[in-house]
Amino acid sequence: MKLYDYAIAPNPRRVTIFIAEKGIEIETVQIDLRAGEQKTPEFTALNPMQDVPALELDDGSCINQVNAICRYLEEVYPQPPLYGRTAVERAQVESWNHRIQNNGILAVTEAYRNSSPFFANRAVSGPNAYAQIPELSERGLKRIGDFYTDMNAHFADNQFVMGDYFSVVDITAYITVDFAKWVKMTIPEDCTHLQRWFDEVGSRPSIG
């Protein structure tokens, strides 16, 4: 297996943290998105979505998209389980992961891609061109604030997103908060529970 990564970008980082939590090692190749290396004919043949992360399997086929890669690794390397330990827990992980993807990662993405000059006319990920919508960037910032409030309330009573069980959802949520720095939305001072969780997760060897 070979992982195509761009170490500073949030989505591939979710995969490299996941790999570190599994305690495994996978050969990694850096694809410089800023330099456009994802658009070369070679890489496009491997991953027509022209994006990282992408996991090349030994037969030359490719899995793209964060959760597709992480779920595959969860099957191949089941320990420690990061997508839940029982059927009900796995369902709750899926539900939380979707919620944080929509209310967290997507909110930051909307705020960032609709304001950064680098993404002019590329406001949505993927090959199609879409103009930026400044109002959507503003709404993204408001949504990040609401996400912080919601998660702060949750962490008042929960060590991790899934209670006392560290899961892939903590990685999704951690990267959301870390990514939000790109739009200058750090954790508000009064969100002490969220800050406690962020510091705790951030001190794990997979991240720190």
Summarize as ranges the residues that interact with a second copy (CB under 8 A): 49, 57, 61, 63-65, 67-69, 71-72, 75-76, 87-88, 90-92, 94-95, 98-99, 103, 123-124, 126, 128, 130-131, 133, 135-136, 139, 142-143, 146
Nearer of residues 76 and 156 to a second copy, judged by Cβ: 76
- Identify which of residues 31 and 123 has a Cβ nearer to a second copy in the complex: 123
Alpha-carbon gap, residue 182 to 186, rounded angstroms: 9
Question: Residue 185: which residues within 8 A CB-CB, separation 6 or more?
Answer: 108, 111, 141, 144, 145, 148
Q: Which residue number, 8 or 57, has a Cβ lying nearer to a second copy?
A: 57
- The smaller minimum CB distance to a second copy, of residues 99 and 196, is found at 99
